[in-house]
Structure 1
């Protein structure tokens, strides 16, 4: 489901920030323990996390593009008459 309120979008943004913070801490731990870098499970986890980060970035960009398109559409005639009511 798409977020339909400013509060939901704000919560998603906060969750993304918390995730980025946690991933940063995980990377620090991995750097501190070289044996983790050599662990195949850890390598798979890092690949999955990178893939997930890319998907989130793509979804964020698609959302922003959709909002921009909608806002542009609202400002054209005749939608401007109906969108502002």
Structure 2
């Protein structure tokens, strides 16, 4: 992964594992959130990430840290 995707990965880890409320999110009972909602809230909080970057982090990370729902619309930390 390049440096930008590494930064996105660290940010996703922080939000999905520790502080979703810091950007106004509340995870559902299995700890997941819509990818689009995550990106919207992150960008509204001053980050500049895209849905494509989130999906690249999930696909390219050497150790699986995140999982997508079967339809690819929701993400959660694993």
Same fold (TM over 0.5): no
More helix by share: 1
- Larger RCO (CA within 8 A; separation ≥ 6): 2
Structure with the greater alpha carbon radius of gyration: 1
TM-score normalised by the chain length of structure 1: 0.29
More strand by share: 2
